[in-house]
Chain A
Amino acid sequence: MTETNEPFFSVHDLVVRYDRVLAVREVSLACPAGSAIALIGANGAGKTSTLRAITGLVRPAGGEIRLEGTRIDGLAPAAIAACGITMVPEGRHVFPLMTVRDNLMMGAYLRRDAPAIRADLARLLDRFPRLAERINQQAGTLSGGEQEMVVVARALMARPRLLLLDEPSLGLAPKIVADIAGLILSIIRDDKVSVVLVEQNSRMALRLSHHAYVLETGRIALSGPSALLAEDDHVRRLYLGAME
C-alpha cells in the first residue's frame, strides 16, 4: 500500500470541531521518517486540537490522518498508541500519586518485552540522573522541570515511532527550557524518533525542527523549511518578536 512518495506521517484536510466551534479547518501536514516538524502559532490557533485529533483524544470532524499510508483517524486512543504514536501533553500530565518509577513503567504499558523494558528504564535513568535520584518519589511532588522530564521519559519508554510534544517549554525557567531543547534535539538526532513539536516558543521550535507550519485561527497560514521561515518577515514580526 505504501507508495514511495507517501510520507511516513501525514495529515490531510483535518477538521476539528467542538460543538459548533471550528478549532481546526483543513490543516494538512507531512512528516518524513526521522524528521521533526513544528507547529507554531498563537494561543487558540488550533495547535493542541491538531495533536489531540492525531492521538484520538478528540474525534476529527473531517480529513485523513495516515501513518505509513494507513489511516488512523477515528481509531480509539489506545489503538493509536499501539501504532507507535505517543504524545507528551501540555501541562506535564504526570500520574501525581505514582512514583517516578511507576510513571515510567506506565509508558511501557503496551509493551510485553520485559527484559527490553528493564534495559530501556536503566538507559533512561542514566540519561536523566535527576529522575534516578527521585525514582521512588511521588511524581506529583517534583518540580515543574522534573515533571517535564518524567513525561518525556515516560513517552520514550513507549519506544514511539512518532512523538508529539505539546508545549514542552511552557511555564519552565529559561535554564530548564534550554535543557528541554537539548533533550528534544537528542531525541530527534540520537533516538531517531520522528517528532511533531508544538510550541509557543517559536524561536526554539524553528531551531529544533526541519519544517514548520504557522497556524492562524485554525488554518495553516504559512509553511516551509524552518530555517527559511525564521527569516520570513511575517513570522519574524508576529512570532519572533522582531521590530519592524
Chain B
Amino acid sequence: MAQILIDGSVLSASYALIALGITLIFSIMRLLNFAHGELFMIGAFMVYYVYGAWHLPFVLGLLIAALVPALIGACFEKFLFRRVMRVATREENSMLLAVGTAILLDNVALFLFGEEQHGVPETISGVLQIAGGFLPYQRLVVVVMSLALIALLLGFVQFSRPGRAMRALAQDRDAALLMGVDVDRTSMLGFAIGAGLAGLAGGLLVTIQGVNAGIGVDISIKAFIMIMIGGAGVVSGALLGALVLGFAESIGYSALPGSETYLLIFVALVLFLIIRPQGIMGHPWG
C-alpha cells in the first residue's frame, strides 16, 4: 500500500510536467501538440548523452534537456504553425501539421539515436524506507524537482507579464489582442515553455525508466489521456489528470501485468468520457 502511494506520487509529479506543458500550448494556440512525447524523448536523450555518456553534471544535462526541446518548439511555432494557422481555413490543417511534426521528430530521433534502449547511472544512490514502502533517493530527486518546476511554472503564469498575456489569450483571444498582447511572440514563448517542460520531464524520468527513440508516441498518448481526464486547457485539470493517471498506473502495475493496466485505463477513460466529455475541470485555462 505504501509502495503504491510512493510510486503513484513519483509518476504523478513528473506526469504533471508533461500535462502542464501540453495544456499551456493547447490553451494559448488551441492546438493539440502531437509531438509532445517526442519532445519528452529528446529531453531524455539529452540527459542520456550529457550525463550518461559524456559524464558531465546531471544538472547540465537537465538544462540542455529543457533548452533543445524549447528551441525545437519555438521553431515549430515560428516557421510552421504560425503560417499554417494564419492561412488555414480549417482547424484540421494545423492538426495534420502537428501530427507531421511528431512523425518527423520520431524519424529524426531514430536516425540520430538508434533503436536501443538506454539508461543512465543513478545520480544519487540509497533508498529511503517510509512506512514499509521503498523510496529510492533517485525517485525522491525526481519528485522534488518536478514539484519545484510545477511551482515555478504556476508562479510564472500567475505573476509575470508574459504569463498574464498567456492567460489573457487563453481566456479571451479578441480581448487580449485589443489590450495589445502580441500573439506571435506569446505563442512562440508558450510553445517553447511547453516543449521545455516536456523535455525536462523526459530528462528527469530517464533516470528511472531509461529511454529509446520509440517512446514518444506512448508519452503523447499519456499526455492526451491526462488532459482528457482533467479537461483540456485547464491548469487544475492537467494536475488532476496527472494524479489520476499516475496513481492508476501505480495501482495497476502492482496488481496486474503491464499490458492489462493500460487496457483497463483506456476502457475506464472511454466510459468516463461518455459520462463527462469535457473532463473533470472542463473550462478554459485559469
Chain A positions within 8 Å of B, measured between CB atoms, are 55-57, 76-78, 81-82, 86-87, 89, 93-98, 102, 105-107, 109-110, 151, 154, 158
Contacts and interface: CB of A to CB of B under 8 A. Distances in A.
Interface in B168-204: 168, 171-172, 174-183
Contact of B285 (A97, A106, A109): A97
A75 to B, nearest CB: 12
Interface residues of B, number: 21
A94 B181 CA distance: 15
A97 B171 contact: yes
B284 interface: yes
Contacts of B284: 96-97
A201 B168 CA distance: 30
B155 interface: no
Contacts of B179: 81, 86, 106-107, 109-110, 154, 158
Given A78-B182, A78-B183, A93 B175 contact: yes
Given A89-B178, A94-B175, A106 B168 contact: yes
Contacts of A158: 179-180
Given A93-B172, A93-B174, A97-B286, A78 B167 contact: no
Nearest to A108: B179
B172 A95 contact: yes
B213 to A, nearest CB: 39
Given A105-B164, A106-B168, A109-B164, A95 B180 contact: no
Contacts of B44: none
Given A97-B285, A97-B286, A57 B178 contact: yes
Contacts of A93: 172, 174-175
B285 to A, nearest CB: 7
B286 A55 contact: no
A158 B182 CA distance: 15
B165 interface: yes
Contacts of A57: 174, 177-178
A97 B183 CA distance: 19
Nearest to A87: B178
Contacts of A82: 180
Contacts of B178: 55, 57, 77, 81, 86-87, 89
Interface in B128-187: 161, 164-165, 167-168, 171-172, 174-183
Nearest to B89: A19
Nearest to B172: A93
5 contacts: A56-B177, A77-B177, A78-B177, A93-B172, A93-B174
Contacts of A97: 167, 171, 283-286
The 10 closest A-B pairs by CB, nearest first: A81-B180, A97-B286, A110-B180, A93-B175, A77-B177, A95-B171, A78-B182, A109-B179, A78-B180, A93-B172
Nearest to A52: B174
Interface centre among B167, B172, B180, B181 (most CB of A within 10 A): B180
A109 B180 contact: yes
Contact of A78 (B164, B175, B181): B181
Contacts of A109: 161, 164-165, 168, 179-181
B171 A98 contact: yes
A48 B164 CA distance: 27
Contacts of A154: 179
A86 B176 CA distance: 11
Nearest to B235: A97
Interface centre among A55, A94, A97 (most CB of B within 10 A): A97
A82 to B, nearest CB: 6
Contacts of A105: 164
Contacts of B174: 57, 89, 93
A56 B171 CA distance: 19
A83 to B, nearest CB: 10
Nearest to B184: A76
A110 B177 CA distance: 11
B222 to A, nearest CB: 26
Contacts of B175: 89, 93-95, 106, 151
A163 B181 CA distance: 17
Contacts of B161: 109
Contacts of B172: 93-96
B17 to A, nearest CB: 22
A87 B284 CA distance: 23
A93 B171 CA distance: 9
A98 B171 CA distance: 9
Given A89-B174, A106-B179, 7 more contacts: A57-B178, A77-B178, A95-B172, A96-B172, A97-B171, A97-B284, A102-B164
A109 B168 CA distance: 10
Nearest to A86: B178
